[in-house]
Structure 1
Amino acid sequence: MKFINKKTALLFGLALTFFGTAQAQQTPKKKIDGVVAVVGEYVVLDSDIDKTFVELQAQGIDIKNITRCEMFGKLLEDKLYAHQAVQDSIVVTDQEVHDFMNSQLDQMVEQVGSVEKVVKFYNKKNLEEFKTYFFDIVKMNKLTSQMQRKVVDEVEITPEEVRTFFKGIPKEELPVFGAEMEVAQIVIKPKISEAEKQRVINQLKEIKKDVTDNGASFYSKAVLFSDDKASVPTGGFYKITRKTPFVKEFKDVAFSLAEGEISEPFETTYGYHIIYLEKIRGQELDLRHILIIPKVSDEAMKEAKEKIEKIRQRIVSGEIKFADAARATSDDKDTRNSGGILVNPRTLETRFELTKMDPGLYSQVSDLKDNAVSLPFVDSDDKGVKCYKIMTVTNRYDEHTADYAKDYLKIKELALKEKQIKAIAKWTEEKIKETYIKINGEYRDCKFTNNWLKK
């Protein structure tokens, strides 16, 4: 999704592993399958446990220390989340499920070569049977995921709770944080010529004309021409509301269209778009779009390189400080105002732990001495457009035992995770009490962490 605003990754995200499920189907059953549990409106089959073991193996996860009872307990939790999602009116529409399946199917076809091969791989008679089989699986996984997010998103933590958490850690058990560094960058982007911008606008106008005048397929045009790789497999399709975290310019155009209308070409920070509004569903829009990113010329790249070389020379000679040069000249608005200081997308801190640093970034800064400036190098921005960068290391932190003042944000993250785990445990305990749950046969002898048997 190349034109979506940056968002912090959600905790406890779930993903359906299709190929693991497929292999599970091919595992021969040695006993008669049957219902081993009921949670609300959902059932757990004995074969579901076998399938989950094979799914984990397909993902490369070591299962030798996972007992059958533990796996059964995990399935009970998933069913409880899905059941409660329905009770809380969390809605996963059929369209969302179909869109997800179509996207996954497109990716699988790209890997194996044809829809027929995918269907055969899953031991299904045809595409309809394939989609019917996976529909309920995908829907339940999405309900489970959204319910989990709802539980943890409501958990907040105060500075006093962080302090209490830290004081409660025995001195000998304090975490040790690895060596870290802070780094800064200056980015110079090549200029796009007006002629190239007009070429892209004209191309989008021709695409629109072909669709409106000649009945060409917008879906096919998106597959052929769009630079938004995330939506290409679905023909440029997105479902959005006013709250969807897309850039403002995109939403403004989308919500100005009538049903069935195609917009004129318009610009965002990601390039030039046209939008086809398929359906208005109250406050929700079904739309397709095509994004075309203007191309950068060799001459523009040469000019960008010359510019950043001059900036580097001024810094190295002492004429200007790196931070001041970043504020004055960098084309990266996310780091310019902070003097070029990068933020770690994983922790939202300015520090990068060396053992967890992105390999590309590490290769540029690992050998830099204090106050040294890297040579210019070519990189790509978050939109995939090439640019030139120079970097420097602004601070280094040796491996050390956690310190409340120096490592507050890391300690806060640990404290929040602990509070989220406790919130989930409390939520689970309460929902088990009020939900119809029945466990059959030998699984009643399992020793569960949660009170599934309501003893």
Structure 2
Amino acid sequence: MRFINKKSILALFLLSGAVIMAQAKKEKVDGVVGVVGDYVILDSDIDLEYIQLKAQGVDIKEITRCELFGKQLEDKLYAHQAIQDSIIVSDEEVNGFMNEQMDAMVEQVGSIDKVLKFYRKKNLDEFRAYFFDIIKNNKLTDQMRKKIIDGIEITPEEVRNFFKEIPEDEIPLFGAEVEVSQIVVKPVVSEEEKQKVIDRLKKLRQEVLDGESSFFSRAVLYTEDIASSSNGGFYKINRKTSFVKEFKDVAFTLGEGEISEPFETIFGYHIIMVEKIKGQDIELRHILMSPKVTPEALKEAKEKVELIRSKITSGTITFQEAAKTFSDEKETKNNGGVLLNPRTLEPRFELTKMDPSLYGQVSELKDGEVSLPILSEERGIGKFYKLITVNNRIGEHKADFAQDYLKIKELALRDKQIKAIAKWAEEKIEETYIKIGDDYRDCDFTNNWLKK
């Protein structure tokens, strides 16, 4: 399923004192400094931009108010045009995301009363209305940006021309990289533990069918899907939503009000209740539970991975052969355990951009050395043991078209997308009502906001 990333939202709330000062300033001297379509920009909006950047650890000394005002103008243009293009962000989607983030805020500061005090809101309803508008506008902005660049592709010839046009002294440097393989050994979950989960889900299903409780309340209490627990297991999906196939296959066989029997995915066992079917979209709730791994099973997994390591280090079998024979990770076992970078889909990881946990595991390994058994845990997999080895290291180097084609392609595509966004903005600025306040008319904007 999906996961909550609290860091970016919570950063603002950690500087609560600064927020209050900005609001106090708004009460005294705030005014409209810009208008884009139906949206207004207040002087205090610029102050809050500074606060958010500072909370995220950005050095704000060199960032001018003109630059932040320009960003506000862009965001409002996206949101305004999203409405013109009939892009819909449902109240359910906004409320679901808001519930997740409010839970994160309360967890961080201790209580909802403290959150209300930080924002000088009289009650929860007033705060939710304030937060609702912020989230909805952000989602409209994001969806409008996505719509602009969706479908933009790049050909090999365009990549080649992009690289040729880079001046020699501006050819990018790529950082040191490693190629990594791994062998995963998962503890065997007993049929007894699986049946316990299935029986528990069947009981919850029957309680809802008998009217003893609501699916919402049971999901809040029992689901192990953190991303949807506070919202009663709610998701809105369609055929293109990036959920696992097994989940979507079951969801799209149900009618409104139906509750599925327990079924299995890589995340565990689920039951789904479909609430509404709207064209290609389904609004549903689900409960997720995972069978528990016993200490005995975990011990057996460790013994197995230790035996595999012994065979590799003694030369009885190569790492690649062992991965194909013994690894429980179907995504990597057939190619000898080679890991693919999820961002680039190539078998290289730039050291400075690696997941910190993976970096810590490979940074001290020599080429060809096999790690000691590593106990890991991932959502949807649970606890497991793994061995890793470094197949190859590539030092920092100037971009080479053949060796670094995928990275260069990514840069070329990004350049094409930026140009498409700039062209779109230029056209929409001309046809949209825009007003710039006197205090910002001397700004040197990137876009033609003054329509000169």
User: Equivalents in 2 of 1:364, 1:60: separation in Å?
Assistant: 27
Q: Match for residue 63 of structure 2?
A: 66
User: Equivalents in 1 of 2:356, 2:100: separation in Å?
Assistant: 29
Q: Is the 8 A contact 2:10 2:105 kept in 1?
A: no
Kindly state the Cα deviation for residue 43 of structure 1 after the two structures are TM-superposed: 1.4
Alignment of 1:50-449 (within 5 A): 50-213=47-210, 215-449=212-446
| TM-superposition CA deviations, 1:11-57 (whole Å, max 9, x none) | xxx97965268843542328643322221121112222222222322
Q: Is the 8 A contact 1:270 1:383 kept in 2?
A: yes
Q: Find 1:39's aligned residue among 32, 36, 39.
A: 36
SS at match of 1:419: helix
User: Equivalents in 1 of 2:178, 2:343: separation in Å?
Assistant: 14
Kindly state the Cα deviation for residue 3 of structure 1 after the two structures are TM-superposed: 9.7
Kindly state the Cα deviation for residue 82 of structure 1 after the two structures are TM-superposed: 0.8
Structure 1: tracts of 5 or more residues without a match: 5-13
**1:51–1:310: structure 2 CA closer, same or farther, 3 Å change rule?**
closer
SS at match of 2:227: coil
- Match of 2:39, as an amino acid? Y
- Match of 2:265, as an amino acid? T
Which of structure 1's runs of 4+ aligned residues deviate more than 4 A? Answer: 14-18, 20-23
Structure 2: tracts of 5 or more residues without a match: none
User: Equivalents in 1 of 2:47, 2:356: separation in Å?
Assistant: 38
Q: Is the 8 A contact 2:208 2:215 kept in 1?
A: yes
Q: Is the 8 A contact 2:16 2:118 kept in 1?
A: no
Kindly state the Cα deviation for residue 60 of structure 1 after the two structures are TM-superposed: 2.7
**1:81–1:15: structure 2 CA closer, same or farther, 3 Å change rule?**
farther
- Match of 1:311, as an amino acid? I
Which deviates the most, 433-442 or 358-367?
358-367
SS at match of 2:210: helix
SS at match of 1:234: coil
Kindly state the Cα deviation for residue 412 of structure 1 after the two structures are TM-superposed: 1.4
Q: Is the 8 A contact 2:12 2:51 kept in 1?
A: no
User: Equivalents in 2 of 1:33, 1:445: separation in Å?
Assistant: 20
User: Equivalents in 2 of 1:95, 1:22: separation in Å?
Assistant: 31
- Match of 1:53, as an amino acid? Y
User: Equivalents in 1 of 2:381, 2:230: separation in Å?
Assistant: 18
User: Equivalents in 1 of 2:152, 2:20: separation in Å?
Assistant: 38
Q: Is the 8 A contact 2:267 2:381 kept in 1?
A: no
| TM-superposition CA deviations, 1:136-166 (whole Å, max 9, x none) | 2221111111111222333221111211122
| TM-superposition CA deviations, 1:116-147 (whole Å, max 9, x none) | 33222211111111111222222111111111
Q: Is the 8 A contact 2:256 2:275 kept in 1?
A: yes
Q: Match for residue 11 of structure 1?
A: none
User: Equivalents in 1 of 2:160, 2:319: separation in Å?
Assistant: 36
Is 1:48–2:45 an aligned residue pair? yes
**1:55–1:365: structure 2 CA closer, same or farther, 3 Å change rule?**
closer
- Match of 1:327, as an amino acid? K
User: Equivalents in 2 of 1:124, 1:209: separation in Å?
Assistant: 42
**1:44–1:287: structure 2 CA closer, same or farther, 3 Å change rule?**
same
User: Equivalents in 2 of 1:416, 1:80: separation in Å?
Assistant: 23
For this pair of structures, how many residues does the alignment match? 447
Which deviates the most, 211-220 or 378-387?
211-220
Which deviates the most, 329-338 or 311-320?
311-320
Q: Match for residue 25 of structure 2?
A: 29
Kindly state the Cα deviation for residue 2 of structure 1 after the two structures are TM-superposed: 5.2
Kindly state the Cα deviation for residue 197 of structure 1 after the two structures are TM-superposed: 0.7
SS at match of 1:387: strand
User: Equivalents in 2 of 1:55, 1:312: separation in Å?
Assistant: 48
* RMSD of equivalent CA atoms: 2.4
SS at match of 2:230: helix
- Match of 1:389, as an amino acid? K
TM-score (norm 1): 0.91
Q: Is the 8 A contact 2:78 2:140 kept in 1?
A: yes
Kindly state the Cα deviation for residue 344 of structure 1 after the two structures are TM-superposed: 1.6
- Match of 2:232, as an amino acid? G
| TM-superposition CA deviations, 1:233-264 (whole Å, max 9, x none) | 22211111222121222122222223223221
Kindly state the Cα deviation for residue 70 of structure 1 after the two structures are TM-superposed: 1.6
Q: Is the 8 A contact 2:220 2:233 kept in 1?
A: yes
Q: Is the 8 A contact 1:23 1:55 kept in 2?
A: no
User: Equivalents in 2 of 1:129, 1:288: separation in Å?
Assistant: 27
| TM-superposition CA deviations, 1:396-435 (whole Å, max 9, x none) | 2122221111111111122222222222222111111121
- Match of 1:135, as an amino acid? F
User: Equivalents in 2 of 1:118, 1:145: separation in Å?
Assistant: 26
User: Equivalents in 2 of 1:409, 1:248: separation in Å?
Assistant: 28
SS at match of 1:301: helix
SS at match of 1:191: coil
User: Equivalents in 1 of 2:374, 2:307: separation in Å?
Assistant: 14
**1:34–1:359: structure 2 CA closer, same or farther, 3 Å change rule?**
closer
TM-score (norm 2): 0.92
- Match of 1:24, as an amino acid? V
Question: What is the percentage of aligned positions where both structures have the same residue?
Answer: 66
Q: Is the 8 A contact 2:272 2:286 kept in 1?
A: yes
